[in-house]
Amino acid sequence: MTQFTRRDFLKVTTAAGALLATISLPGCRPKASAAGSALDPSVFVRINPDNTITVTIAKSEMGQGVRTSLAMLVAEELDADWSQVRVEQASFDPKYGDMGTGGSGSVRDNWKQLRESGAALRMMLVAAAAKEWGVDSKECRTENSFVVHDGKSRRAHYGSLAAAAATISIPTTIALRPKSEWKILGKDRVGIDVSDITHGRATYGLDVKVPGMLYASIERTSVFGGSVKSVDKTAALAVPGVKAVVEIPAIGNGVNVHAGVAVVATSTWAALQGRRALKVEWDGGTRAAESTDGYRSFMQAAVEKAGAEMVNKAGDPDGVLAKASTVHTATYETPFLSHATMEPMNCTASVVGDKVEVWSPTQFPGWAAEALAQALKTDIKNVQVHVTLMGGGFGRRINPDFTVEAALVSQRVNQPVKVVWTREDDLRHDFYRPCALHRVDASLGADGMPEAWRHRLSTPSIDVTYGPKPGPGWGPNEADGSGNMSYRIANRSSEYTLLESGVPRGWWRAVSTTHGVFATESMIDELATAAGKDPVEYRLALIDKYTLPQPADSKQFPFDPERLKGVLRTAAEKAGWGRTLPAGHGMGVACSFDHLGYAAEVFEVSVINDRLRIHRVVCAADSGPIVNPSGARAQIEGGIIQGLSAALKERITIAGGAVAQRNFDGYSLLRINEAPAVIEAYFVETDTEPTGLGEPSVPPVAPALANAIFKATGKRLRTLPLAITIA
């Protein structure tokens, strides 16, 4: 495939903000290795003479477990001894196809090609052994990295067959192992990097060290869109260890590097000290008066009238609402959110002439390579992007800004440089989950079921940060989780009004459903209550096929109402939904379809003396077959904890065109003592291709919790973070 251009990138942010990787690599034909000793039947796997098997991982590892799950796909079909499997991280190269990691898509994207690679290689190894033993391939079997012929009592390990297998032609008909015969897939597996992690050996972006490397810290404009008016470098240059002070220009074009001044030194501390001694005068620019209060005023006014964009409409919601005797109205408000990865942004770069080499904790090495080529005015063939482990991603590391910055600094000082972001830098120069204001007006028929649902939304759309308005408008991607709800309501509309804002926006785990599902799943619960009906039964009666054109449904994995009902029923059953609870206790439910995964959650809480306790969270999820159950449960647990953190604690506010918060003392994350006592994950493994679990468990959290709090207290909380203290 060709270079991954920004336009291609915008194309793949199609259906409702999901990062659906639509670029795929045509089948790779392995060549016999020139040296003859290591078999390389495909781009992704090789067998070494010492019988270790190296799987090349072309997706970024941010804790979602791809270095383990993708290796498992190969190992299963190859029939490999797992203890001999090693992984190698791929650097950017078009031969790997789409390396962009996000949208819960890594297992989904690689389901076919990695298993086929393993299966093809296994067939070639068998053929090689059969040839050597003078038997028919069909008489041989494989077991744990061995080819075995029972009749002749022969066995040979893969390592010894690697060279011979390289001479066998690659099979064109490949049969994959059925699920009933899985030995590796579908079984708990400890992460392949766990031992390195627990011994302090794992190398993250911030840990990279290259010869001759300097350290840099960048003083960036706090006010978004600001620029440098003047710099006094004298005091900074006098700090011991400081080698240079260089200006970094703002870069637009969707890359969004802020104007700044970099202090380059022989250690991180010296760079930080030098930065403190800098005297920079800033020009605030046109966004310096923006504030959360100003945004809220705009959004509140916007949702009181018809939206600027009609994302979708069925029937006549305005007409029905106008005639209804009772209109139920609710407004749901959510703030900007920061990704707050535990490892702050960073990148190490070495620019020598027109050659650019970076070691970047990036989720999108392709976009990074393209942005580097453009920013440094060199051919993309001169750009090398090495992908490191990263301490969390959650969508922040999609953006190439921190990679481009490092290259610009290196270019200016003619030495390799590691740019280290402080936590303050990271928190205040994020690509934020947009703030959002949802207003729903609804009316019920005589049977208590909704007749009209008019959903108005205002946000500072994510897409505005990156380029021109997509054809269908700003609204569809922002209305994921709201406009595309699956409840069958004859008269419904999804309306959108764009809020202009200088705050850079980006993709925060699950993206628009994080606020859209909060609104939808809270409102449907309010209507169920108004109708005097059980919230689970109400939803089950209404979930139906989704047929509206925008937000667009997936073509490859269209929404299946039975699967959503399936997880809802499972979660309710496992949670013991409907049983009598003591006073002050309550159960709340929410369900959603996000990034092609179905999830339903039940929260069991108590609110005693105004203090919230979360006793139990039950999640039922359906993303098809599960590759590594331990890892899958981890994604459910982690998504729930992150969703809770956002639901209860997190808020970024803007004042004077800048982020008001500084560090974790002002932007609180959920701590261990606030985590639920119990999180249970149940998987409904519908027989389909797997679709991924990185994001689906996040959206139901806030509404299920708010709905539970309502049951426990009688109070509806419609603003995030929820105004309640956790015990």
Partner 1 sequence: MRLTINGTEHDIEAAPEMPLLWAIRDLAGLTGTKFGCGIGQCGACTVHLDGAPVRSCSITAGAVGTKRITTIEGLAVGGQDHPVQQAWEQLNVPQCGYCQAGQLMTAAALLARKPNPTDADIDQAMVGNLCRCGTYVRIRHAVKLAAEIQAGGAK
| 665 φ/ψ angles, rounded to the nearest 5 degrees | -75, -20
194 scored as a contact of partner 1 (CB under 8 A): yes
Return the residue of 22, 297, 663, 725 that touches partner 1, per CB under 8 A.
Answer: 663
* Shortest spacing between CB 241 and partner 1, in angstroms: 9
Stretch that binds partner 1, among 190-198, 462-470, 495-503, 584-592 (CB under 8 A): 190-198
Q: Least distance in Å: CB of 649 to partner 1?
A: 11
**Which parts of 536-653 are beta strand (E)?**
585-594, 597-608, 611-622
Q: Which is nearer to partner 1, 134 or 200 (CB)?
A: 200
Q: Which is nearer to partner 1, 301 or 677 (CB)?
A: 677
Minimum CB separation of residue 632 from partner 1 in Å reads 11
Select from 103, 344, 400, 473 the one that contacts partner 1 (CB under 8 A): 344
Residue from 188, 293, 500, 562 in contact with partner 1 (CB under 8 A)? 188
Rounded CA separation 222/228 (Å): 11
Stretch that binds partner 1, among 138-146, 494-502, 532-540, 657-665 (CB under 8 A): 657-665
- Residue from 197, 238, 322, 723 touching partner 1 (CB under 8 A): that is 197
For residue 42, give the DSSP letter: S
User: How far apart are CB 239 and partner 1 at their closest, in Å?
Assistant: 10
How many CB atoms sit inside 10 A of residue 471's CB? 6
CB count in 10 Å sphere of residue 625: 18
Say if CB 717 and CB 707 are below 8 A apart: no
> Degrees (nearest 5) of the Cα angle 675, 677, 678?
110
Binding mask 359-398 for partner 1 (x = CB under 8 A): ------------------------------xxxxxx----
Secondary element (H or E) of residue 708: helix 701-713
Using CB under 8 A, which of 1, 250, 530, 634 touches partner 1? Answer: 634
Site for partner 1 in 574-613 (CB under 8 A): none
Q: 202 or 552, CB closer to partner 1?
A: 202
Residue among 71, 640, 702, 724 that touches partner 1 (CB under 8 A): 640
Q: Is residue 271 within a helix (H) or strand (E), and if so which, with residue range?
A: helix 268-276
CA distance 22 to 550: 19
CB of 603 to partner 1, least distance (A): 15
Between helix 561-575 and helix 535-542 the angle, nearest 10°, is 170
Residue 11 phi, psi (nearest 5): -65, -40
- Quick one: which of 266, 189, 251 has its CA closest to 221? 251
- Amino acid in position 86: R
Which residues, 53 to 92, sit near partner 1 by CB under 8 A? 61-65
Retrieve residue 420's tokens. 């280290």
How near is the Cβ of 642 to partner 1 at its closest, in Å?
5
- Tell me which DSSP letter residue 325 carries: S
Q: How many CB atoms lie within 10 A of CB 171?
A: 17
**DSSP calls for 173-184:** S-PPPPGGG-SS
The conformational region for residue 717 under phi > 0 = left, psi -120 to 50 = alpha, else beta, is: beta
When binding is defined by CB under 8 A, the residue of 300, 630, 688, 713 that contacts partner 1 is: 630
**Binding flags for partner 1, 404-443, as an x/- string (CB under 8 A):** ----------------x-xx--------------------
Distance set, CA 242 to CA 67, 211, 233, 333 (Å): 38, 18, 11, 46
Stretch that binds partner 1, among 101-109, 110-118, 322-330, 667-675 (CB under 8 A): 667-675
Q: Where are the alpha helices (DSSP H) in 394-456?
A: 401-413, 423-428
Size of interface with partner 1, in residues (CB under 8 A): 64
CA distances from 141 to 129, 144, 168, 286 (A): 10, 10, 17, 70
- Specify the residue, 161 or 427, whose C-beta has the smaller distance to partner 1: 427
Please report how close the Cβ of residue 274 comes to partner 1 at its closest, in angstroms.
Answer: 12
Of residues 258-317, which lie at the interface with partner 1 (CB under 8 A)? 267-269
Kindly tell me which of 308 and 669 has the beta carbon lying closer to partner 1: 669
Residue 545 or 664: the one with the smaller Cβ distance to partner 1 is: 664
Q: Which of 530, 402, 508, 390 is nearest to 459 (CA)?
A: 508
Query: Are 522 and 322 within 8 A, CB to CB?
Result: no
Interacting residue with partner 1 among 77, 109, 219, 343 (CB under 8 A): 343
Binding segment for partner 1 (CB under 8 A), chosen from 379-387, 547-555, 665-673, 715-723, is: 665-673
The phi-psi region of residue 178 (left if phi > 0; otherwise alpha if psi is between -120 and 50; otherwise beta) is: beta
Give the single-character DSSP code of 464.
Answer: G
**Is 385:124 a contact under the CB 8 Å cutoff?**
no
Listed ranges 43-51, 129-137, 281-289, 666-674: which one lies at the site for partner 1 (CB under 8 A): 666-674
* Residue 229 binds to partner 1 (criterion: CB under 8 A): no
Q: Does 326 bind partner 1 (CB under 8 A)?
A: no
Q: In terms of CB distance, is 202 or 237 closer to partner 1?
A: 202
| Pick from 557, 635, 597: nearest CA to 66 | 635
The single residue among 25, 277, 669, 726 that binds partner 1, judged by CB under 8 A, is 669
Residues engaged in binding partner 1 (CB under 8 A): 61-65, 188-191, 193-195, 197-204, 206-207, 209, 215, 240, 267-269, 340-344, 389-394, 420, 422-423, 630-631, 634, 637-642, 645, 663-665, 669-673, 675-676, 678-679
